[in-house]
Amino acid sequence: MKRHLTVAASLVLLSLSTAASAATVIKVQTANAAGSFSLNYINKVWVPKLEAMTYGNLKIDIRPTKSVVPHRETPRAVAAGILQGDLNAVAYFAGRDPVFSVLGDLIAGYDTPEQKQMFFRFGGGVEILQKAYDKHYGGKIIVVGAGPYNKEAFVSTVPIKSVADLKGLKLRSPEGMAAEVFRRAGATPTSIPLPDLYTALDKKVVDAADASSYTNNSSLGFNKIAKYPLYPGIHSMAVVQFIINKKVWNKIGPQGQAALTTWYYAMWPDVTRATEVEDHRLVAADIAGTGTPGITVINWSQAERDKFRVIAAGAWKDMSTKSDLAKEAYDAHIKFMKTLGLL
């Protein structure tokens, strides 16, 4: 009896050792710059959880933007197996198909990140994004999920207190919908990768930036040189996708797929909440004068926000005419916003 128990225990240990040695490592490039709050939080809190959830069978290696390939090339790299996945901004790929613009950030459309996360989970967003990748990458990519992790702030070297103040402003903006809305408001948008933004603000290449959350902007030093942040943000909740190479998806099997999906849908809202809490803490300190020296936090009136939303809504509709998938995404957004009482 003791011999049988010893043999059984040895077999269990052997199987666990074999599984650990055969662990699948998922190398992922993100939209976040090195040193940003959200990237650090995911690596510290959530990367170890996936390994623990899967008894070491799945590991995830999350890297900052541009660390493996240029920021616009991640889907191609995932399809080719250079990366196993990405957590990247959907709007970066608007040049390939306008659907990525409509899904990437419906500027001024939703009031909270949770509403937009629900659209992707329950309103058809993930399914339409999957159709887009099937069309452009030949079925080599699986969309695990997508959604914003927070409502973005806005960094500026000059005060922007109204829609009128956007006229003539040089600003950093993602491609697609965001850039189009800012153009319609009279600004001059340009696309600058997040790691290059500090230098662009410092050297006055741009006056302001649609960048990231207040917390990320602060952790990357933007608020030290752009003293007039807008909070809450006037516009943007950039959608970040989680895509996986299909061969890797098939390799990890149903149990691995379920674990990875569960991990993502637990991780992403948690990052949202952690970032929002930190946002409020930093904003309160800056308003009280105990945070970053010289900061003036600007909060637009509802009337100005409404003016901006009217401009944005025209851009949504026009962008929807540019491809069949863009129209499908627009219609899905409108239907879901009506369901939530937003329209």
Report DSSP state, residue 195: G
Mean local confidence (pLDDT), 269-276:
92
> Is it true that 22-149+237-277 and 155-236+289-339 share their CATH fold?
yes
Structural domain spans, the chain? 22-149+237-277, 155-236+289-339
Rg of the Cα trace of the chain? 21
343 and 337 in contact (C-beta within 8 Å)? yes
Tell me the pLDDT tens digit for each residue of 156-207.
Answer: 999 999 999 999 999 998 777 888 899 999 999 998 887 889 999 999 999 9
Range of weakest confidence among 38-42, 195-199, 264-268: 195-199
**Helix pair angle (113-122, 125-137), 10° resolution:** 60
φ, ψ for residue 214, nearest 5 deg:
-55, -40
φ, ψ for residue 281, nearest 5 deg:
-65, -45
How long a stretch of residues is the chain? 343
pLDDT of the residue at 16:
46
Tell me the pLDDT tens digit for each residue of 296-315.
Answer: 999 999 899 889 988 999 99
pLDDT of the residue at 18:
43
Structure tokens at 257: 């797929």
Peptide bond before residue 48 is cis, with ω within 30 degrees of 0: no
Encode burial over 264-302: b for 16+ CB neighbours within 10 A, e otherwise.
bbebbebbbebbbebbeebbeebeeeebbeebebbebee
pLDDT of the residue at 19:
43
107 and 177 in contact (C-beta within 8 Å)? yes
Residue 93 has pLDDT above 70, yes or no: yes
pLDDT of the residue at 6:
53
pLDDT range class, residue 4, cuts 50, 70, 90: low
pLDDT of the residue at 15:
46
Provide the 10 A C-beta neighbour count for residue 64.
Answer: 18
pLDDT of the residue at 13:
42
Higher pLDDT: 18 or 135? It is 135
Residue 21 has pLDDT above 70, yes or no: no
Strand partners for 29: 63, 86
Tell me the pLDDT tens digit for each residue of 110-124.
Answer: 888 899 999 999 999
Please name which of 132, 144, 281 lies closest in space to residue 214, comparing C-alpha atoms: 281
Query: Which of the following CATH numbers is that of domain 155-236+289-339: 2.60.40.150, 3.65.10.10, 3.40.190.170, 3.30.70.3400?
Result: 3.40.190.170
Higher pLDDT: 216 or 144? It is 144
pLDDT of the residue at 150:
82
Tell me the pLDDT tens digit for each residue of 99-109.
Answer: 999 999 888 88
pLDDT of the residue at 122:
97
pLDDT of the residue at 3:
57
Fold entry, domain 22-149+237-277: D-Maltodextrin-Binding Protein; domain 2 (3.40.190)
